[in-house]
Structure 1
Amino acid sequence: MEYESLNTLTDYLGVTEKRFRELIDSAGDIFHYAETATRGNDYWQVSQPEFRLIFAIAAAMKAEKIAETGVGPGTTSTAFLEAMEPFDGRLYSFDLGRKYGNSDEKPVGFVVPVNLRGRWTLTLGNSRETLEPGLEKYGPFDIFMHDSEHTYDHVTFELNAAMKHMKERFIIVVDNYNWTKAPEDFASSNGLRLIHPIDDMCLIFRE
């Protein structure tokens, strides 16, 4: 797995590239757990390189609070919660509560291990209605991840909502970022840096 712009990211996070790659490597066991839990089914979950990347980011930041939209089976939720365990960090997730991909009717977040759920708050409903009140209640956040509806208007809405509740030092993660120009326009209009480290995932943060 070769990640692009890794030195830019590690400089921002304040860790060496060697240490960051160690964190990427350490995500292997939890990824294989999540992969086994989905039993090879396609729930539109993130790829292994993306999973390892977000795990490493959360661990390197020593994130205490993360918000995400679009939970699906809970693979990204599992990555974040596992990465934050040493810091007792909490994850706040927002999801419509509908089935994903070729799933049967398994509940949202079924992959998340029982031992991690005590630090997880899941809110079901349309993020147009739930996201802003939730961010206001639980923020500010170290990391926000968008992985819900990927239309220009919806991505723009979620990123603008999140921006109001981020810490001074933050990272915004967007999966399927190249489905629309919304992430690029958001970064440009807010004077933020956007990098594309792997697959179709981008990261947005302060210059």
Structure 2
Amino acid sequence: MSEISRVLKTFIAYLKRPDLYPELGRKIVKNTVNRGNAFKGKEKTNSWAASKAVSQKEAVSKLFGINIDSFRNDYSEILKNSEQKEKACPIKMGGAGALELIYYACEFTNATHVIETGVAYGWSSLAALLSLGKRKGTLYSSDMPYLAQDGDQYVGYVVPENLKQYWKLFRFADKESLPKIFAENSTFDVLHYDSDKAYNGRLWAYNEVYKRLKKGGVFISDDIGDNSSYQDFCEKNNIETTVVEYEGKYIGVFIK
């Protein structure tokens, strides 16, 4: 599909969904007036992140006092089945991230309420749900419909059916999904952020969720090297963060 065809298809899909008009307006502004905002401070933050970065294993050991080595063995069958589902999926979305970091954040906090933004195949959802299922907790997820491709039915595709009873999925942009989630639950043990990459979008969501994160809760944000929003947020709030380097990208994580 050409870029013009993709943009046109997306725009038409938005027009068919009045509930998504607020996000359409924000995207138009983001891609015109605020186009340069997405990468604000990128060079500064990549240098900062590189100077602090540790491996996922080091971060989990340092923050939670846990060795991650058993995770892949403990859940080998589930992970294998999920990998096969991803390969068979006709729609291509984002792959698996730092699953152990998410899983052990939930274990460390004995999480019963977790919030994530961004789902795609559902790898991060799976990591959280493997822990939450032990305590019959709830994962609240925000994820925009995939309007440029007919992929809505594949969101969360790798999550096993037996874990979906602990999952509530909100199919709107964060600015619509998060207030709906907060109306259902007001405090959370773990946040995993992996949605709007723009500087302003990230800062808005970081602030909204941080104030609802329990003391002792874990805050995780993927792709913090895209711009300086995460670094700026941490510096403004005097937060000492750990930075994880994973597959050439940076993840920010701290305990509140």
TM-score, structure 2 normalization: 0.68
Number of positions where the alignment pairs a residue of Structure 1 with one of Structure 2 = 199
**Does structure 1 residue 30 correspond to structure 2 residue 78?**
yes
Determine the structure 1 residue equivalent to 2:179: 132
Q: Deviations over 1:33-92 (max 9, x none)?
A: 321111166411233xx1232222222332111100111121111111012221222100
Higher CA-based Rg: 2
Structure-2 change in CA distance of 1:183 and 1:175 (3 Å): same
**Does structure 1 residue 119 correspond to structure 2 residue 170?**
no
Within-5 A mapping of 1:42-191: 42-47=92-97, 50-98=98-146, 104=151, 106-191=153-238
1:194 to 241, 244, 248: 241
1:10 to 24, 37, 61: 61
Write 1 or 2 for the structure with the bigger share of helix.
Answer: 2
Q: Is the 8 A contact 1:27 1:55 kept in 2?
A: no
Calculate percent identity across the aligned residue pairs: 21
Q: Counterpart of 1:108 in structure 2: which amino acid?
A: V
CA drift at 1:196: 1.9
Determine the structure 2 residue equivalent to 1:203: 252
Structure-2 change in CA distance of 1:192 and 1:31 (3 Å): farther
TM-score, structure 1 normalization: 0.83
Gaps of 5+ in 2: 1-53
Write 1 or 2 for the structure with the bigger share of strand.
Answer: 1
CA distance in 2, matches of 1:40, 1:149: 27
SS in 2 for 1:197: strand
Q: Is the 8 A contact 1:5 1:195 kept in 2?
A: no
Tell me the C-alpha RMSD between the 2 structures: 2.5
Q: Deviations over 1:136-155 (max 9, x none)?
A: 53131111111112111111
CA distance in 1, matches of 2:150, 2:85: 12
Q: Is the 8 A contact 1:23 1:59 kept in 2?
A: no
Q: Deviations over 1:152-193 (max 9, x none)?
A: 111111111101110011111111111111111111111212
Structure-2 change in CA distance of 1:151 and 1:105 (3 Å): same
